[in-house]
Every structure is written in structure tokens, then in C-alpha cells.
Amino acid sequence: MPPFQPPAHSPLTAADLRAAFRSVLVADSSAKAAALREIITRRLGPGQIALLGSGTSALEVALRMARDTLGDASASLVLPAYCCFDVATAAVAAGMPVRFYDQDPQTLAPDLEGVTKATEEGGRVVVVAPLFGYPFPWDDLRAVAAARGALLVEDAAQAAGASWEGRAVGSQGDLTVLSFGRGKGWTGGGGGAVIVRDSRVLHGAWEGWALRSAIGAAPMVGSIVQWAFGRPGLYGIPAGIPALGLGETHYREPRVPTGISAFSVALAVATADQSERELDVRTEVAGSLVEAIDRLGMGGEVTLVRPISGAKAGFLRLPVLLRRARRLPQARARALGIAPGYPRPLPELGALARLRTGGFGTYPGARRLARELVTLPTHRFITPSVRDRIVDLIADLRDGP
């Protein structure tokens, strides 16, 4: 058995931590915040940028901005049926009626017919989230939204450097949300951002959060732990503590949004260049895994999720559909960094029940994803030997009942 592999890895060095601590000590957070905005603008284009305490808070703020801009209590929020539960947290905080659209389990792309139907029935804020760094056909989504005057909120927390038709994921939304949390392609140990591009959006009331940055003990401690234990051999220590719940998915109640910490701003600036270089590493590892799994010839037992035409995936993790996913030996899979997907479609979450409108739907794509999706690690610690162990574990499923 190899040492425990983390399911995801954000490049972070001791030098990055020292730079962030030094920035806090000399109190140059305003300069670092300006630098972070410049980096975001260079990568993702112009817009009004607010820096928040987490990606979830950033999404909540984006949804509230969109809601207030519309000024229509009957307008509904349109969510992907399969997504991170933090999207549900932000939706509950926004308090809008909620509709859902399904996704194609083989590409993770939105079902455009479902998005169209939701906007025709009153959906005016559409959230799209490129899970694991798998892009969408943005022009088609833009056309659907434009037909009904809907705002597109691009939750790019998992973008990880992905692009479509040469355009960076995170550069297209009327509002775009970023996350600098643990396990993302670009880390600040915490924090997030909202980019406002649509001139209709009322954003002035939210800009002040970027100026009320605290030092932030939690991001500091979390980043030290991430640096110390986020590698094979040491990751097994926190992974073996059940109370930490690493890799588990739970719904969390909304919290009052806060500004980003000075430490997270400085750390995000320090890790920015590495986050771009890491894309090449993840792409190479993902390509190696795809080739090895393809050679297994397991037919319908294994379905690799493929990026849509014109897409360059960010491969934050490699999503795979396993018909017998529930037969994976959990201890071995966990040690190899193989992680289960989100366990339930969002329409099944009780927290969203009182907000649902427009019928219940069946969402077969989301249900299949909840049942069969697992994600494989793609970070720099995946050696050929670890890759072969991952593939062998998948191959063992063809011999099961």
C-alpha cells in the first residue's frame, strides 16, 4: 500500500508561507489586495472585483447582487442539479425560488434544453459551475440567457486554469466567482472573489468587504497544515482522524459573509505563478491516467468524462463514471487519493426544499453522477507506480458480481 495520496493538491511552498507572514507583519495588505486584483484582471479580464472570506461567501454575495439587480421577487434562481453542496448554501442565503437543470454525465456540461426551460419558466439568475475544471459551451449558454434577459453567474471555484475556444474559464460570466481555498488550483488558504462585468449589476454595497480584511488565524493555521501534511506519507495522519471529515461532503448552513484575510490575499499573490505552472502537471498526469484506463477495454463498466469540443480542461481531478463505484474497496481507494463525487443531487437536499419551484423533475444525469462518479487525483505526487495502482484498482471491478 502506498502512502496516503491527497485527492487534490494546491502548489504551496515554505517560501510562499514566509512571504505571506512577512506581508502581514509589515501591514501591506492594501498593496497585496491591489496586486491580487491585477493578477485576476490579467488572467480573466476587466471587472469590478470584491474580495471575500471564502468562495462560498463570494457566491452568496454574487447571488444577492444578481437578486437585487433584478428587483423582482418572482424571479427564480437556476442551479445545476449536480454540484458542490456549497452552492446550495449560497442559494439558501440568497433566498430566491430555485429551479434546476440536468447535466450530461459524460461531459458534465449543462443540459441546454433544461436551462432553456428553466429560463422560460421564470429563471433569471443561472449558475453554471465547471466541475473539476471541465468547461462549458459558453456561447450556447450566453444565447439561452440573453433570450430571457437572465444573468449568468459563473462559479469558477474549480476552474483550475481551464479554457474553452481559447477563452479562460472564469472570464465569461456576468458575475464570476473564484475560490482560493484548500484543494483549489490556486490557493490562499482561504478566501474568494466576485468579478462583476455586467453594467446592470448593483455592486456598490458589496465593495467595502474587500477593505475590512482581518489577519485571519484560521487561514494561517490551515495553510501551515496544508503545507505540512498535504503530501504522501504525511497526508495519512489527518486522513486517519475521522473527526476531521476529510473528503466528506456535507451541507453547511450560511454564515455572514466577511472580507478576505490579509494573510489569504498575500498567500494568493505568492502562489499565483505556481498555480499556472501546475496546470501542465495535472494535464500530463490526467492524460497518462486516461490512456491507461482506455487500455483496460472495460466498455460500459468505466466511462471517462471527456471535455467538450474546443475545451482545454483544468483537470483539478479526473472524473470517471464507474458502474460499480460502490464496490470500490474504500480503504485502498482512499489511500490512493480516489474520492467519491457529491453523494446526492441538489434537488434532494432538504435545505432547498422550501425554495423549490416549478416541479420536481427527474434529473437522470445528476442521479447517475451521484451514483457512479468518482474522481482520480491528478497532482504532481502521482508517480507511474501510483497511477498503475489506481488503474489496477479500477480493473479489479470487472471481476466483481
Q: How confident is the model at residue 371 (pLDDT cuts 50, 70, 90)?
A: very high
Mean pLDDT of 260-276: 94
d(CA 156, CA 141): 15
pLDDT exceeds 90 at position 359? no
Percent of the chain residues topping a pLDDT of 70: 94
Which of 152 and 69 is assigned the larger pLDDT? 152
d(CA 78, CA 114): 10
pLDDT of residue 210: 46
DSSP code string of 31-76 = HHHHHHHHHHHHHH---EEEEESSHHHHHHHHHHHHHHHH--TT-E
Structure pTM? 0.93
Q: Which residue, 372, 325, 323, 318, is CA-closest to 5?
A: 318
With beta carbons less than 8 A apart as the criterion, state whether 134 and 108 touch. Answer: yes
Q: Which three cell numbers stand for residue 371?
A: 451514483
Alpha helices (H) along 187-335? 217-229, 236-239, 262-296, 330-335
Place of cell 481531478: 317
Q: How confident is the model at residue 201 (pLDDT cuts 50, 70, 90)?
A: confident
Place of cell 421564470: 122
Mean pLDDT of 85-102: 95
Which span out of 2-16, 111-125, 201-215 was modeled with the highest average pLDDT? 111-125
Percent of the chain residues topping a pLDDT of 90: 73
d(CA 181, CA 12): 12
CATH architecture designation of domain 14-278+339-373: 3-Layer(aba) Sandwich (3.40)
Q: How confident is the model at residue 127 (pLDDT cuts 50, 70, 90)?
A: very high
Rg of the chain (C-alpha set): 20
Q: How confident is the model at residue 243 (pLDDT cuts 50, 70, 90)?
A: low
pLDDT of residue 188: 94
Q: State the Cα torsion 285-299-162-352 to the nearest 10°.
A: -120
Weakest-pLDDT range from 44-53, 148-157, 218-227: 218-227
Which span out of 10-14, 259-263, 269-273, 353-357 was modeled with the highest average pLDDT? 269-273
Mean pLDDT of 34-62: 94
Weakest-pLDDT range from 23-27, 287-291, 366-370: 23-27
pLDDT of residue 25: 86
pLDDT of residue 2: 57
Q: Which residue, 33, 75, 25, is CA-closest to 220?
A: 25
pLDDT of residue 1: 47
pLDDT of residue 96: 92
pLDDT of residue 283: 97
Task: State the average pLDDT for the chain.
Answer: 90
pLDDT exceeds 60 at position 106? yes
pLDDT exceeds 80 at position 208? no
Q: Can you give the residue ranges of every domain in the chain?
A: 14-278+339-373
Region of residue 293 (phi > 0: left; psi between -120 and 50: alpha; otherwise: beta) = alpha
| Per-residue pLDDT tens over the stretch 131-167 | 999 999 999 999 999 999 999 999 999 999 999 999 9
pLDDT of residue 42: 97
Which of 9 and 39 is assigned the larger pLDDT? 39
